[in-house]
Amino acid sequence: MGLFTSINIASTGMSVQRLRSDVIADNMANVNTTRTNEGGPFRRTRVITRPRVEQPYWRSPFLPQMLDNGPGRGVRVVELRKDNAPFRKIYDPTHPDRILEGPDKDYVLMPNTDVVTEMVDMIEASRMYEANAQVVEGYKSMFQKALEIGGR
């Protein structure tokens, strides 16, 4: 493990959480959007992440079984996926995007975004970003102390 490996790992977490915050903000901004360029209401977007793992790697016989994938190198975004949850329906006979025919007449399809869920995700992303920033600060402090000790 190199000198800056831990900082690099924490920085991958920070960049993923920044992207998550941007996606969550977009979801919240479109909570009432009933018409998009693709047609229909806005669909919530989710960030799909996976751990970064160096392959091939040397496997120590002393590593616990849960570390089967080898030593981690942080996290990466693999996909921005649209949520296929059903749209919400609200009754509004005056809305221009209401359904005009069928059994759901005068209902409006609203985005599948829930403000409470998005707020919880935003708090989680913020706390995870802060935790990774604390890791970086901790390593910077250790490096500074090491330089002070070496300078004596």
Q: Is the pTM of this model over 0.75?
A: yes
Q: Which residue has the higher pLDDT, 73 or 112?
A: 112
- Domain membership of residue 143 (yes or no) is yes
**Res. 127: pLDDT tops 90:** yes
Total structural domains within the chain: 1
- Domain membership of residue 99 (yes or no) is no
Range of 68's domain?
5-31+45-82+113-150
- Domain membership of residue 108 (yes or no) is no
Q: What is the dihedral of CA 137, 7, 70, 130, to 10 degrees?
A: 50
- Domain membership of residue 120 (yes or no) is yes
- Domain membership of residue 105 (yes or no) is no
Are 28 and 118 spatial neighbours (Cβ–Cβ below 8 Å)?
yes
- Domain membership of residue 25 (yes or no) is yes
- Domain membership of residue 98 (yes or no) is no
Instruction: Tell me the C-alpha to C-alpha distance, in Å, between residue 120 and each of 42, 115, 124, 149.
Output: 20, 9, 6, 43
Catalogue the E-assigned strands of 16-71: 45-53
Q: Which pLDDT value is given to residue 41?
A: 96
- Domain membership of residue 87 (yes or no) is no
**Res. 84: pLDDT tops 80:** yes
Q: What are the pLDDT digits (tens) for 8-67? A: 899 999 999 999 999 999 999 999 999 999 889 999 999 999 988 765 555 555 655 555
